[in-house]
Amino acid sequence: MANLTSAINVNVDTKIKDEATHILKGLGLNMSTFINMALAQVVKRNGVPFEVVNPTPSKDMLEALAEVSEMINNSEKYPRYTNREDLKKALLSDDEV
């Protein structure tokens, strides 16, 4: 039985293609071999062989972002320093900020 092949034409970002080609070459693979491996995994797993999700920030990340926003928007409570000597003095002082 003959092994039939089909061509696939896809458009990809040139920079991504070049970077991927370089990485695959280091692994001893070419683009065609990798695509065949990836498609074989799609068939074997009956789905995409890697997680495809919209990244959702964790609760800790959301809290940290809110804290940074507060620090940026409340310069009276969170003073700014233009040089390290002023920052050092403020850190070493006994005064509450």
Residues 17 and 47 in one domain: yes
> What pLDDT is stored for residue 1 in this prediction?
61
Residues 40 and 67 in one domain: no
Residues 11 and 41 in one domain: yes
Residue 36 lies in a domain: yes
Is the per-residue pLDDT at 85 higher than 60?
yes
Residues 88 and 67 in one domain: yes
Contact of 31 with 20, CB cutoff 8 Å: yes
Residues 80 and 65 in one domain: yes
Domains in the chain, number? 2
pLDDT bracket for residue 93 (50, 70, 90): confident
Residue 35 lies in a domain: yes
Least confident range from 12-16, 36-40, 46-50, 76-80: namely 76-80
> What pLDDT is stored for residue 52 in this prediction?
83
Joined together, the tokens standing for residue 23 give 């990485």
Domain that residue 64 falls in: 59-92
> What pLDDT is stored for residue 95 in this prediction?
67
| CA distance linking residue 76 with residue 67, whole number of Å | 15
| CA distance linking residue 21 with residue 9, whole number of Å | 16
Residue 1 lies in a domain: no
| Phi-psi map region of 28: left, alpha, beta (phi>0 left; psi -120 to 50 alpha) | left
Q: What is the pTM of this model?
A: 0.53
The answer for residues whose C-beta is within 8 angstroms of residue 49's C-beta and 6 or more apart is 38, 41, 42
